Chains A and B, each alone.
Chain A
Amino acid sequence: MTTNKTDSPKVELMAPAGSYEAMMAAIKAGCNSVYFGVEQLNMRSRSSNNFTLEDLEKIAEIGKKNNIKTYLTLNTILYDHDIRLMKEIIDAAKKSKITAVIASDHAAINYAKKIGLVVHISTQANVSNIETIEFYSAYADVIVLARELSLKQVAEICTNIKRKKITGPSGNLVKVEIFVHGALCMAISGKCYMSLHSNYASANRGACIQNCRKSYVVTDKENGVEFEVDNEYIMSAKDLCTIDFIDKIVDAGVSVMKIEGRGRSADYVYTTTKCYREAIQSFYDGTFSTEKVEEWKTQLATVFNRGFWDGYYLGKKMGEWSNEYGSKATQKKIYIAKGMKYFSKTGIGEFKMESHTLEKGNKIMITGPTTGYVEATVDEIRVDDKLVELTNKGETFTIKLSEKIRPSDKLYKIVEE
């Protein structure tokens, strides 16, 4: 389902795009904007599928074509040796007509302002009060708040921006952005040194190895006694999910809702973006209901998650910790086939099986850099034009598909866990 942008509500929904697949999936699911990183100066520099400077024009082009905004994240801490690259990236973003840069280091903020590229202040700047908003308003039109604030604090900041008429460089009131879904850290908005201490991998340079997500035992070194902890995952926070109170978030005066997950796959981005798009839409339509919330939560649980909690927005309770390693997703995907071609007239897609089997009735998903995300149920399979119940590794087969697929696409079988 693609949402008609002209009917789009006022709140902006921003989705993560760690790859072209994720970007196209986000657009299909109805985002208003995407954020992405290039080269090594972003908080996901460890992930293998970062964009490069050469991708900027294509990304801006896709954004323009689909009427969505494109934001470049450049939010690591910067050393002297990074300055030239930082300037090169910001210059290239301006030239390619990327909408804005999301930055936290003052060097990047200052340079982007100087050359006239719109600046958003990253959550890595930990903005937590109105005076800091005022300070950054000299540089930025959109400010992402620290993820540890309560919704009451967020609302007060939004009210005071209006009351004090705090405007950004554009002359408009400064907009507030918050994270609404995805991973949370044990540290304040990613300002963590643990990964650096244990593995020399600085989280603040985008190289976090996520050792907080593992299970630990606590031992008293003096007498060797092991402490009893009822949950060995003593540092792994559950994932943030706010879909049941997005009405309160809109009421608080938030302008941009951001989904975390530049390291996540296209199906994750599609599912989360689609759920939040529907939730925002139904809030404006007046059809937001507990039944719908339950449905969205079921949907959100199908993709990667560590269990959900409402973060710190609804009050300062102690962190809720995940109780297992990795994901609690209720579905998993198994790669089985690669795309071959699409017959537009008949609506048939051809694929080549590379592993496992595919049976009639199986649920599948297809992702690709242009296709984004497509979900379907297999109602008939043909091999050599003959109807079959099942297809095996090595075979070329066709299935009916309402959307176009391409040779760059991958087909996965969706299995309930």
Chain B
Amino acid sequence: MIKIVHHRNKCIGCNACVEAAPKRWGISRRDGKAVLVNGIEKKGIYTIDLQDWELEENLKAKQNCPVKIIEIIKL
């Protein structure tokens, strides 16, 4: 299992994560920032626990994020 953490308030809405992992990431048309699909919010930080098979794509999303606000923790 892996946990993805998204520090959303620092997002600049560049779309890089969506391009890397389109099933897990989207962009909100409300505020132009990235959305971690099905993520659970706590104090502005979104998290979700996922199966390992989603790791590869999301690692790419993490690497490509220009403001480095995506964390991946191996559970």
Contacts and interface: CB of A to CB of B under 8 A. Distances in A.
Interface of A: 40-41, 45-46, 48, 79-86, 195, 199-202, 205-207, 209
B29 to A, nearest CB: 5
Nearest to A202: B14
Nearest to B15: A79
Contacts of B67: 46, 201, 207
Interface of B: 10-16, 27-33, 63-67
A205 B31 CA distance: 15
Given A80-B29, A199-B66, A205-B13, 18 more contacts: A40-B11, A40-B32, A41-B13, A79-B15, A81-B28, A81-B29, A81-B32, A82-B13, A83-B29, A84-B30, A84-B31, A84-B32, A85-B13, A200-B16, A202-B66, A205-B14, A207-B12, A207-B66
A124 to B, nearest CB: 16
Contact of B12 (A40, A83, A84, A86): A40
A127 B39 CA distance: 44
A46 B65 CA distance: 11
Contacts of A40: 11-13, 32-33
Contacts of A199: 66
21 contacts: A40-B11, A46-B66, A79-B13, A79-B15, A80-B29, A81-B27, A81-B32, A82-B32, A84-B30, A84-B32, A85-B32, A86-B32, A195-B66, A200-B16, A200-B63, A200-B64, A202-B14, A202-B66, A205-B14, A207-B66, A207-B67
A294 B34 CA distance: 50
B66 A84 contact: no
Contacts of A81: 13, 15, 27-29, 32
A46 B66 CA distance: 8
